[in-house]
Structure 1
Amino acid sequence: MTHFIKQLKFDGERLILRNFYFLFFSLLMPAGFYVLFTRVMIVTGSKAFYVTYMGSMVVYSGLISAILSMATILKRDRDQGFVNLLKATPKGPMVYYLSVGVWSLVMSSLAIVVIGGIATIMNHVQLSLTQWFGLVGVAMFGQFPLLLIGIMMANIHHNETLSLVSNVVTFPMAIISGLWWPINFLPDWLQRIGKLMPTYFTNNLIAKVTTGGKLEINLIVGICAWSLGLVMILIVTPKVVHEWGVVRVK
């Protein structure tokens, strides 16, 4: 436990406190979008809109944190030999991965504090304590498949390719899953794709929690299915690559 706490402190200092890039894209940019869409582009909106768009920007923050930022951090640590160094220690790299995952969840929590604070002060959003806790719980739950995607993308060999793929995944996923504007603004064929995204499930689950709507089991099942599928890919892919490499050597 002491080792895990030390790893958390170490990663927190280098990933969060000394990384303005991470803070800007994970916190400030989604908060800026919330202000832009609710106070600049739309001067007067409904209470439901202010609440649901708050949830959308929380999900967007988690998307950026897991895919755009964490994938880059994991790849950098691997390229610099930090992960291989940890593999040579008795504890192994598992504590490191857990620490990075925890800090990604912490960033999602901070996003709720920042964006939720702006929504409360500027747009007079009022949620019950149960709804705030529900928002936090759903955001953490929905972050898991996004973290798995970030871990997979960290295995991309070239920085330029990773940067391109990160942007291609992050921003289109935000658009087609209805985080920036309502999904019904999109063409029908694109809506069908967007409604399969993990961010769509999380965003709509948060909307149900924060507006007092009836929870839909398919939203929870969708997040679980994504998580299970990605875990299986992470387990199977290294074995397939290893066996393929052995066959090619033979």
Structure 2
Amino acid sequence: MSLAVRHAPDLRAPSMVRIYLAEAAAELLRLWRTPSFVAPSLAFPLVFYVMFGIVLPGRWGELDKATYLLATYGVFGVIGPALFGFGVGLAIERQQGWLELKRVSPMPTGAYFFAKLAMSLVFALVIILLLSTAAIGFGGVQISPVAWLKLAGSLLIGTLPFCALGLLIGTLVKGQSAAAVVNLVYLPMSILSGLWIPLMIFPQIVQKLAVLWPAWHLSRIALGVVGQAQGVNYLQHFGVLLAMTAVLLFFAARRLRAH
């Protein structure tokens, strides 16, 4: 009798923490096994930074090019996993019926979105570490540990509006067109926000309209942290990013309820 009790299955409900962590681990494992997602997400920001920030010669006035591009390519890098992970992932899973299956399963709905958020943050952190290694090890960038922690923390928090934007895109488009739509948003936004080259090179109208892009606000925060922008109003930029996140989540939630 005691042996039977000892080997009886544990019928207690799993804790919410275990459910959320298990879903996040499964999402990370799934994407790590997807080369078409991992390779561009990790390689593109690093390759572009090495090419334009380290290999190509030239100065940008009083700006330190390697340090400037560490901040802006850091922004460019963390946006990718957020947009593609939410936008393309949700669109494909919605089209294939996987999202509907998860809805009717006992799994909490929040675990699904937490897993994608965790995935975005993990990939963002890896990208930040890769860029920092290249910048400090080969680009001659000098940055204090405190400044680096501020930069990394700002970039990680700054992924939120792009996760929300990706979520909205994923509710609007079909799976086969999601990647194209995300790129149509991602690449122009990156260029027009000054992530590849400083905005001072662009016409005045482009510089004025940059305030409409969440990437510009995050880049101002990152540039201020590394000393490549003066007079940065951090509270204002974070406030804009938070407001954009709330608006995008509102419309994404409405779309999800409509499906």
Is the aligned partner of 1:124 residue 2:116? no
TM alignment of 1:22-61, pairs within 5 A:
22-42=37-57, 48-61=64-77
Q: Give the Cα–Cα distance (whole angstroms) in 2 for the partners of residues 229 and 156 of structure 1.
A: 15
> What does residue 229 of structure 1 align with?
247
Aligned position for 2:197:
181
Cα distance in structure 2, aligned partners of 1:145 and 1:22? 20
C-alpha deviation, 1:71, in angstroms: 1.2
Aligned partner of 2:80 in structure 1 is 64
Asked if the contact 2:83–2:182 (Cα under 8 Å) also holds between the matched residues in 1, the reply is yes
1:87 to 103, 111, 117: 103
Instruction: After TM superposition, give the deviation of residue 25 of structure 1 in Å.
Output: 1.7
1:199 & 1:173 partners in 2: Cα distance?
7
For 1:220, the equivalent position in structure 2 comes to 238
Contact 1:47–1:125, Cα closer than 8 Å, also in 2: no
Q: Does 2:146 match 1:156?
A: no
Q: Is the 8 A contact 1:55 1:207 kept in 2?
A: yes
1:110 corresponds to 2:123: no
Deviations 1:114-172 (A, max 9, x none): 00100011112122221111111111221101000100111234334323321210110
Partner of 1:247: none
* Counterpart in the other structure of 2:18: 2
> 1: CA distance between counterparts of 2:71 and 2:96?
36
**Separation of aligned partners in 2, 1:11 and 1:90:** 17
Per-residue CA deviations over 1:4-38 (Å, capped at 9, x if unaligned) read 221122111111x2012222221110100001102
CA spacing shift, 1:169–1:76, aligned 2, 3 Å: same
Gaps of 5+ in 1: 243-250
What is the aligned partner in structure 1 of residue 9 from structure 2? none
> Bigger shift: 84-93 or 57-66?
84-93
Give the CA RMSD over aligned residues.
Answer: 2.1
Provide TM-score, normalisation by structure 1. 0.88
> Greater shift after overlay, 190-199 or 97-106?
190-199
The letter for the 2-side match of 1:102 is A
Instruction: Tell me the residue number matched to 2:34.
Output: 19
Of the structure 1 ranges 3-12 and 29-38, higher mean CA displacement relative to structure 2 is found in: 3-12
Q: Matched residues in 2 for 1:177 and 1:99: separation?
A: 29
Q: Do the aligned partners of 2:220 and 2:232 also contact (CA within 8 Å) in 1?
A: no
Distance 1:215 1:71, change over 3 A: same
Q: TM-score scaled to structure 2, two decimals? A: 0.85
Equivalent-residue separation in structure 2 for 1:237 and 1:228 (angstroms): 14
Q: Supply the AA of the counterpart residue of 2:190.
A: A
Question: Partner amino acid for 2:236?
Answer: N
Shift of 1:228: 2.1
Paired AA for residue 64 in structure 2? A
Q: Which residue among 91, 101, 107 is the counterpart of 1:75? A: 91
Q: Is the 8 A contact 2:165 2:248 kept in 1?
A: yes
Distance change (3 Å), C-alpha of 1:157 and 1:215: closer
1:80: how far off?
A: 2.4
Q: Write the distance in 2 (CA, Å) between the matches of 1:189 and 1:228.
A: 27
How far off its partner does 1:214 sit? 4.7
